[in-house]
Structure 1
């Protein structure tokens, strides 16, 4: 059953899902299955496999809960064939729990007490035969000893019985849930007296929005406002009704569900009260909690997906490559930290210079940097983009010009560098280096290879998330770990230079085995082939199967060890070479020859067409890096702070973060500007990721600047004019575009509420909360 459900959701054959599930249960990793078991799963890719794995876990948990519920109801001797069928057919945890509601063990309720007092027949009588007068019918049920001393108490007991019965009717709850999901509105109001203290949430002091249309960033902002005591959130079940109207359409749903027609019969007023109270006291509260929980879960999932997408783009950013790099971690009073690393990332030299205020030791600092460049043949200079970044950039530019040096300088994001510097991992890697110097090393290395360096840092410290502190931390960690794993294995890892942190992300390797690889390397020297990995402590046959294809041995004894061809498939390469009378190293990179090779000629019982095709492609460009070519943005000279910006300026920048409502761009002024979704393109954009991704180099126009609040509105439509409404007509009318207020990633780490970056250029897309 589970296999068929997942197959239908993925629109693939059940056999593909079954094969993947078997591999997962046997301990195979997603990267390994996606890359080296294509014929087994008939080509399921890593995205499909991740979805499959997530749904497999959910559905198995659902099935475990189903069996637990069936067992519980059986033990109560209340399981009917009809109920059993409904439980077996339940396709969600919500539906399952609805069906279980009447059978949950609970504290004695008013309804149960009334049933024990023998009042249930009265409840049924009045509910099904309204011609009876409630007060008259209740007379015979008065029993002072049981707590029902008068007709009012008796009728209250009868009402409690019916209310509890209806509130536990799974089919009724499903009907109400369906209606509310489609029609309900989320209402946000300011808590009385919190106007000033909760000013950052002012866009939500009187906010109404269709529940199904609330985007994740707004939902999470409102939920945070509620958690901090500034907002009250509720569900309006009938947004089309005038305020103050009595009754709800949900009461009609309840009446219709039970075939109740209310007229002028003696018990109808009482029955109407039962329905009204059931809705307002029982079902509404239950549904409000559930729908709020569903909104939070959906919003968290979307926010996690945004974070994951941005992280993947950042990790897969172009590496500068194997070049000697000088890293600068800029500072003012405490100076600028300097570190030179060789092409493999090994630290060659460190220092501290004071070219900026208040020291202004420009000449001495220039002398130190020039000497380091010449002594170590530095190819690149990486400058962190934090405090004093632009001043340091200008200093380095003047130094290179005066010294006649051609060394390239690049501004590099230093997000998370300080976190890494103070980490246990950094202390173990650089026990003799000061914490501040470690940051300069990290900045240099992340220019050489962003992926290899950023895996050492907690992803949440990198600053590409959206409301990352408001989402489930376990789910976030699981998703981000999967992204890192996929990125690392897509690129491949040099086993002779990789850090333990990087090796840990390789399919099949644990932190312990990764450290054992490094320890073996330190004790025995570099690995000359993949086979030697089998000598590493605790790296058994299964781990070797999973990791071998993703680990590279550069310049080793076997040229195939530097490729993505898995050792288990080396016989295929050997056969190709032998059948064509060539040596293996003669066919690697031989495009002309490989184009003439027919994959079908080398299919066997062990290796199908997908694997053979991949092998031939890999032989053509062995160890090919899937990341793009290295490029850098050029920040404008003289534009160092927000106050240097002028309306209409066209600047080059780097996309630092992408949210549902737009993209943040680093233009070199220590404060990222926001390109609202409506200003990303001349055509309608439903998702900013259709246009940009983190790390992209883009040209933007300055549309509005708020120096005091440090907010910058930008546009990628270079024909836009500041101060005018430049929005595409279709986009300006979308309800999702209201209340998009957020701050740049650096601000988000401190105050991740989503404040708002003005927007006069977009008809106040940021300031007009409900446009």
Structure 2
């Protein structure tokens, strides 16, 4: 609407007079109970002036406001869903990763160990062919020296070019290390923030960015929560959405993602701990300081030793905190400590340890009558589900993804190409897909194939990996039209049905010369409309049987027949002399 592509009118265009007449007619029917009263015309004139001057504009404003609120809510939910899906991407895990940030602030590479700490870094350049060769050799040396298991490349400027260069170089060197393109959204702003300076004080800005890129592959949730969710760019045009509406949706999306995964109490950063229910930035910093002074937390119960953290706050947050490998096996799961007593009693009845109730042993808890009675049937399924998971990450296993190496820019796309892509945004009119170029392509709703129904569109989510086919490329407008699937739909010619033959028309009898025509009726005659016979109306307004029709001037005017009324006025009946 701000760009002039959409205009809103109430009832039609601004010059449509019929809409106002209909409104005035409805008002007249409802308000003028006595149409012939002296104030009827004044009331109608007042309504006409009020409608044109104030009422219509006020109604249009209310409708526009309601539609804008609905649009903002839908856009905020779509943007928040994109952020949530980005936070919940499967992690590569605590393994050595090489992070490469080819951003405009300087190109740098950094290696992080399994804990995410930076262990080595090096600047690089790809300006000339010699620079590319030296850069590739230096990066391969880092991979060999630190037993790197994956390479993460930021998707900023020159990201695709460096990704393809590294993938080909690693393949030529017989190093089976995957190269993954990760989002660089918000990394530049974070690298210059106070939090980044306190976390990595001795690192330069490009190296901080490279370390953050590597960590985003190891654990996207733990690293991306450091960035404001609005800066993650998981959607289109977030600046057009009302600020409070979008902010609430984004905060809810981040909290939902954090609580769904859980937080490792001994490795989480202050930014991640601050998202846990009941824990704010102040308590998060206090937890990290206590951990740095006293070592890792041995159990959830040790959280009460943190200054300022009360039992009430701990009760809210403790169910979302995890302590893997601690004193209490249940601390590695999502089971709340309030249920520990019931599970310990169950283990005693079964003569088993608590660790034997995890995984396959959780089914024994479901069959235990004592646990069912104490926990309740409603919560029993949740407890068993957490025991069965054994604290496993619900985000799933990491599967590397790669775009086509021969497509680096928009000009490389050709109609008919089949490309792997990632859905970046879903709208009511289709889905935007990233195929590895600087502009996302649009899969219109009419090209969703078998998913063209509304229910199928709702199953498409940001982050989904799909195969798309290029339909059209407009280089001047920087637009790409895509279709979901790998093959163009084959349109089968419709089979023409034989035209049904009309039934034979009845033959009319021939009339001989001099003979009277037959009066027999045919079907065609039966279908012809018959003219109504004129009936004479008696005093009781009922037709008089067998009466001859009166002359025109003496006929009574028919009901709702203005022509009959005019005829009676033009030829009034003559009075008979007495």
Match status 1:709 vs 2:480: no
Partners of 1:283 and 1:393 in 2: CA distance: 61
3-state SS of the aligned residue for 1:700? strand
Post-superposition CA distance 1:181-216 (Å, at most 9, x none): xxxxxxxxxxxxxxxxxxxxxxxxxxxxxxxxxxxx
Match status 1:720 vs 2:488: yes
Match status 1:420 vs 2:190: yes
Distance 1:538 1:407, change over 3 A: same
Distance 1:312 1:275, change over 3 A: same
Distance 1:599 1:614, change over 3 A: farther
Partners of 2:368 and 2:35 in 1: CA distance: 75
Partners of 1:397 and 1:299 in 2: CA distance: 43
- Where structure 2 has 5 or more consecutive residues not aligned to the other structure, the ranges are 493-578
- Where structure 1 has 5 or more consecutive residues not aligned to the other structure, the ranges are 1-221, 727-771
Asked whether the 8 Å contact 1:385–1:411 carries over to 2, the reply is yes
Superposition map of 1:181-200 within 5 A: none
Match of 1:281 among 40, 53, 58: 53
Partners of 1:604 and 1:617 in 2: CA distance: 14
Post-superposition CA distance 1:672-731 (Å, at most 9, x none): 21112221223532267424211111111011111222211111133327xx999xxxxx
Q: Specify the alignment match of 1:363 in structure 2.
A: 133
Task: Provide the TM-score with structure 1 as the length reference.
Answer: 0.61
Distance 1:359 1:418, change over 3 A: farther
Match of 2:92 among 305, 320, 326: 320
Match status 1:564 vs 2:338: no
Superposition map of 1:331-730 within 5 A: 331=103, 336-354=107-125, 356-358=126-128, 360-589=130-359, 591=360, 593-599=361-367, 601-603=369-371, 607-686=375-454, 689-720=457-488
Asked whether the 8 Å contact 1:662–1:688 carries over to 2, the reply is no
Partners of 1:606 and 1:474 in 2: CA distance: 43
Distance 1:412 1:609, change over 3 A: same
Q: CA deviation at 1:237?
A: 2.8
Distance 1:611 1:359, change over 3 A: same
Q: Specify the alignment match of 1:237 in structure 2.
A: 11
Q: CA deviation at 1:261?
A: 5.2
Match of 1:251 among 24, 31, 39: 24
Distance 1:599 1:546, change over 3 A: farther
Q: CA deviation at 1:259?
A: 3.8
Q: CA deviation at 1:260?
A: 4.0
Partners of 1:357 and 1:260 in 2: CA distance: 85
3-state SS of the aligned residue for 2:449? coil
Q: CA deviation at 1:234?
A: 4.8
Bigger drift between 486-495 and 621-630 goes to: 621-630
Distance 1:367 1:467, change over 3 A: closer
Partners of 1:246 and 1:362 in 2: CA distance: 69
Q: CA deviation at 1:654?
A: 1.4
Post-superposition CA distance 1:217-261 (Å, at most 9, x none): xxxxx1x33xxxx5895533357x983448432223333343445
Q: Specify the alignment match of 1:123 in structure 2.
A: none
Distance 1:245 1:616, change over 3 A: closer
Superposition map of 1:77-96 within 5 A: none
Partners of 1:423 and 1:725 in 2: CA distance: 57
Partners of 1:654 and 1:446 in 2: CA distance: 17
Post-superposition CA distance 1:60-111 (Å, at most 9, x none): xxxxxxxxxxxxxxxxxxxxxxxxxxxxxxxxxxxxxxxxxxxxxxxxxxxx
Asked whether the 8 Å contact 1:400–1:406 carries over to 2, the reply is yes
Post-superposition CA distance 1:335-361 (Å, at most 9, x none): 53212112221212222111x224741
Post-superposition CA distance 1:303-351 (Å, at most 9, x none): 111112222222111111222111111247x653212112221212222
Distance 1:579 1:638, change over 3 A: same
Asked whether the 8 Å contact 1:577–1:587 carries over to 2, the reply is yes
Q: Report how many residues are paired.
A: 492
Asked whether the 8 Å contact 1:658–1:688 carries over to 2, the reply is no
3-state SS of the aligned residue for 2:176? coil
Partners of 1:513 and 1:441 in 2: CA distance: 26
Bigger drift between 685-694 and 321-330 goes to: 685-694
Post-superposition CA distance 1:547-605 (Å, at most 9, x none): 1111111211222111111112111221121001111123323x1x4324444512477
Distance 1:635 1:238, change over 3 A: closer
Asked whether the 8 Å contact 1:599–1:612 carries over to 2, the reply is no
3-state SS of the aligned residue for 1:682? helix
Q: Please tell me the root mean square deviation across aligned C-alpha atoms, in Å.
A: 2.5
Asked whether the 8 Å contact 1:385–1:670 carries over to 2, the reply is no
Post-superposition CA distance 1:272-298 (Å, at most 9, x none): 211111222232122122111111111
Bigger drift between 554-563 and 419-428 goes to: 419-428
Asked whether the 8 Å contact 2:304–2:310 carries over to 1, the reply is yes
Partners of 2:49 and 2:97 in 1: CA distance: 72
Task: Provide the TM-score with structure 2 as the length reference.
Answer: 0.80
Asked whether the 8 Å contact 1:455–1:502 carries over to 2, the reply is yes
